[in-house]
Amino acid sequence: MTGENTSKDFTAAELALGVLPSEEHIAATLRLHADSDFAAAVAQWEVLLAPLALEMAPVEPSDDLLARIEAGIGRRELARSLGRTQRAHEGEWIVFAPGVNAKVLWQNEATKRQGILLHVEPGATYPEHDHDDDEEFYMLSGEIQFGDLVLYAGDYHIAPKGSHHGDGISRNGCRCIMVTGL
């Protein structure tokens, strides 16, 4: 069998089985009408495969199949609507203060909250501020000091609404995720 005959034979078998992708199926169907040898090969495969169809009992879908499919689609759509990915190279850095840059990762108008990636360069100061809302810090790298409080990579800190932070000074620089009010 030559390579061309083998290819024709496989395509004829796949057409008889109904497993060709749509574009290949269309091309094979057109070829079926134009190439008598190919049409004969498809007919031969249909005869060979016919006993398989007789041996297979029809499968009845369960009563709840449609509901399960719809629920699965709904969960995927919900996850897609709730999920968001921002790649490291995406988004715009905003100069918050000299040596302190922020990138908004997400905002939720309904909860009036936002997530911010904060990058503080070595020796820079994060300005003192009051908290109009709870402010959460998760340190990714480096360190930052607010008065006696020093936060290191892996530390979590929450400053409650109404509290005050003095200047945050980072001797070696840091990166953190900050979740705060809009």
The residue among 161, 181, 159 whose CA lies nearest residue 113 is 181
Closest CA to 146 of 176, 172, 121, 169: 169
Provide the residue count of the chain. 182
* pLDDT given at position 103: 93
Identify the pLDDT of residue 2.
Answer: 45
Identify the pLDDT of residue 99: 93
Torsion of CA 65, 66, 67, 70, to 10 degrees: 120
The list of the chain residues with pLDDT below 50 reads 1-3
Nearest CA to 150 out of 168, 177, 130 is that of 168
The DSSP annotation for 100-157 comes to EEEEEEEEETTTTEEEEEEEE-TT-EEPPEE-SS-EEEEEEEEEEEETTEEEETT-EE
Please list the residues that pair with 145 across neighbouring strands. 150, 169
Contact between 107 and 114 under an 8 Å Cβ cutoff? The reply is: yes
Position 5 scores a pLDDT of 54
Centroid of chain to Cα 176 = 22
Residue 38 has a pLDDT of: 86
Question: What distance in Å separates the CA atoms of residue 133 and residue 120, rounded to the nearest whole number?
Answer: 22
Euclidean distance between CA atoms 61 and 53, whole angstroms: 18
| Contact status, residue 125 vs residue 175, Cβ threshold 8 Å | no
